Amino acid sequence: MIAVERPDDVVTDLDRVPAAVEPLAAASAASAASAASAAAPDPDRAPVLRPSVSQEAAADAESEQALLAEAARLEVQRAEAARLEAARQQAEREVQVRREQALQEAARRAEARQEEARAAAARAEVARQEAVRAEAARLQAVREAAAQEEAARLAQAAQEEARQTAERMALARLEAARLEAARQEAARQEAARLDAARREEARQQAARETAVRDEQARLEQARIEQARLEALRRAQARQVAEREEAARAEAAREASARAEAARVEAARLAASQAEAARQDAERQEAARQEASRLAAARARAAEEEADNARREAARRAMGRQLDEEAARRDAAAAARPDDQRPHAWSSLRRGRIFGRADAHAELAPSMPKPGRAGSTSIPQPTPSARPPRRPIATRW
């Protein structure tokens, strides 16, 4: 019977798997515990009455910073858990690889030992043929049984390893789900705490407003009561004063009448003085408006006079220019010889009247020549012999 030995390194690696997983589980548990402790609300923290808007804003900013810090811490914990899970899976893969290598090495060694046994049996076969054949058959049966047992054991070990791997993965999934649930629970508790704080603040604000309204109502009631007592005291004092005044009324009536007459006279004088002052102010305002109107009229008149002066200067300049041009034309006409023809001949309508000639030299060749049938013997003047027309000078 040949026994297949199990390598020591395989045993050691299998024994180290729980030891490698336990720190990962412990680290995950510690991270979850710290997250839960950080997310749990502090019972000693009571909502503090904020006396001003700046302190309220600072408290809100601190709350937001605490939420951001908590979210960052939870994110770090999730990253750490993912890193630990990846390390654990890597360690499991390494252990699996080493286990498979150890199994292969054990199979190789068993095969070598079986090969040695077969060689020994073959050498013994030469000396003891019959005995060796029987022994060989027995040994073959033993080897087959041992191989079957080894195969069954390896299959069982593989199944056990697969089961443990599945259990570890399930535990890891449960741990991740627990951490996510813890994070969500912490976020929910934080939101609930903030909402409770806001409700408490609103309640306290409403209580303060109610207290202020109650205090105002109490003060108003006290003021009304004080006014009533004061009115009662004044009524009593007025009654006393009326009784005293009744005793002095007859004596003071004449003095009061004289004082009233003096007051009426003073009022009349004051009214007359006010009316005189009003009329004086109206006169001054009218004079000021009249002075403004006259100043505006003078300004408009000055502007119109300046415009008229500019127009008159322009007309004079234009007249001078036209006079100069007329003088130049007169001088040019005087330098030419006098035309003895009738004035009607030099009119521009001559071409249309006679239909035979035109003052323009360009049109003259198209006219019928004298001496032809239907033509006249009227002499045709030359364009240079026409007297110049004097333009009409218009003065503005």
pLDDT-derived band at 80, boundaries 50, 70, 90: very high
The pLDDT mean for the chain works out to 76
**pLDDT at residue 243, rounded to an integer:** 82
Q: Is the four-CA dihedral 182, 183, 185, 186 of positive or negative sign? A: positive
Q: Which residue has the higher pLDDT, 379 or 108?
A: 108
What pLDDT, in 10s, does the model give residues 180-224? 999 999 998 999 899 998 889 888 988 888 888 888 888 988 889
The model scores a pTM over 0.85: no
pLDDT-derived band at 227, boundaries 50, 70, 90: confident
Q: CA separation (Å) from 254 to 169, 182, 250, 260, 274?
A: 119, 100, 8, 10, 30
Domain boundaries, the chain: 8-41+48-225, 266-332
**What distance lies between CA 34 and its chain's CA centroid?**
39
pLDDT-derived band at 36, boundaries 50, 70, 90: very low
Cα 358 from Cα 365, distance rounded (Å): 9
Cα 260 from Cα 276, distance rounded (Å): 24
What pLDDT, in 10s, does the model give residues 258-274? 888 888 888 888 888 88
Average pLDDT for 156-178: 89
**pLDDT at residue 394, rounded to an integer:** 53
